[in-house]
Structure 1
Amino acid sequence: MLADLTIKEYLAKTAGDEAVPAGGCAAAMGAALAASLTRKIAKLIASRMDIGEQKIQMESLADNMGALSDEFTHCIDADAKAYQELMAAHKMPSKTEEEKVLRDEQIQKNTLIVAMVPFDVAEMAMRMMDYIAEVAKLADKNLLSDICTAMFFARSAALSGLQTTRTNLPSLKSKNVVVDLTIKSSEIEKQAVTKERELLDWIKSSN
């Protein structure tokens, strides 16, 4: 399990000769870091508040970020597993017509999973950016650099996840799936870039 490795072990594996972990896992890792950092900031803000609606909001948001961090961490291993199963499908026997059909079905099935795991990471990371912006509005100036770091990681996770998805789309035979994911990927990318720019503009205008 990649998620159980130490940071040094994970980095060594990423730099190693094995196919995974690679880009999809890195996208999930970046998103998990963004969620964890946002959780830390939200908890800190809540700890400085008296009992009230905003304190409850920050505590709830911190809990949500904890759950998201766990989900992104799960996606690290899910991405690696999906890729390994795709490689196994490519190695299936294909001497008979029946074997060829079964092999092709498994390749298509696992290619879709390989495309969908980073897509899900990208979509969740993009939506998480709204929560990061909410935290920013209640953070003091000393926390804004951490807020920006979380936002940058989230945007990077979204864009890199989408790129991994797009890389696998040409291998899918379902044109409807390809068109749907292409359209949705473009929208997610647009929203991620916009959300990051809006936060930076807000910080600039508030200083």
Structure 2
Amino acid sequence: MFKNLTVEKFLQEVASENPTPGGGTVAAISGAMGASLISMFCRVTAKGKKYVDVKDEMERIGEEGDKIREKLLKLADEDTKAYLEVMQAFKLPKESEEEKEKRREAIELASQRATEVPLETAKEIVPLLEMVIEIAPKGNPNAISDLKVGMELCYTGFVGAVANVQVNLSTLKDQSFKKEIEEKLEVVIDRAEKAIAEGRKIIASYGYSC
């Protein structure tokens, strides 16, 4: 869906009066852009004669970044689809008690899916943040600013995905499902916060304090 749009067309879609693509989709795209820069940093390093010792490692991590980027692009589409399913559920008839019950069930199921998708986005982004810790000290310092941008894009995508999980959690009725998601969210937030703090610390040693 969105991966085949030009950058200009995608931004026009985001800026329109339509509710989709919204923050969840943009969060996934942000993570995908960050993944691209992480892969670029790895490949710039791998081709340098000074970095023969880490060439294989950088190429491997660059490929991992590519795979995560593709997953995030799919999640960008999934987020919009999930939101549209919620909207469709709200449009179901509600005249009889039976219709009302079916509508409530449909809304709950669609809302659960709309919660799961951004959680998946957040989970996919965490390894990208952890990659930065691994590659920043070993990579080409001439591309460290690109890695910095990639890391911050990933973190922005992560924060956006978490926000979408949290806003959807507030609408759920199934307390067991809600608790399960909250527990998973706590784990990924902890990993992400540790990773971004360490990544920023390492990159700051190159002179990037912002």
Would you say same fold, with TM above 0.5?
Answer: yes
Distance 1:54 1:105, change over 3 A: same
More helix per residue: 1 or 2?
Answer: 1
Comparing 65-74 with 170-179, greater Cα deviation is found at: 170-179
- Residue 53 of structure 1 deviates from its aligned partner by 6.3
Q: Which residue of 1 aligns with 2:33?
A: 33
SS at match of 1:180: helix
Name the CA distance, whole Å, in 1 between partners of 2:204 and 2:190: 21
Instruction: Report the residue type matching 2:92 in the other structure.
Output: M
Distance 1:179 1:49, change over 3 A: farther
Q: Which residue of 2 aligns with 1:91?
A: 91
Comparing 70-79 with 123-132, greater Cα deviation is found at: 123-132
Gaps of 5+ in 1: none
Q: Write out per-residue CA displacement over residues 71-101 of structure 1, whole angstroms, 9 at most, x where no aligned residue.
A: 1011111101110111001001122222222
- Residue 145 of structure 1 deviates from its aligned partner by 1.1
Instruction: Report the residue type matching 1:135 in the other structure.
Output: I
Name the CA distance, whole Å, in 1 between partners of 2:102 and 2:15: 34
Gaps of 5+ in 2: none
Comparing 182-191 with 81-90, greater Cα deviation is found at: 182-191
Identity %: 26
- Residue 26 of structure 1 deviates from its aligned partner by 0.9
For 1:1-207, list aligned pairs within 5 A: 1-49=1-49, 54-205=54-205
Instruction: Report the residue type matching 1:98 in the other structure.
Output: E
User: For this pair of structures, how many residues does the alignment match?
Assistant: 207
Comparing 82-91 with 47-56, greater Cα deviation is found at: 47-56
Computed over aligned residues only, the root mean square deviation of the Cα atoms, in angstroms, reads: 1.8
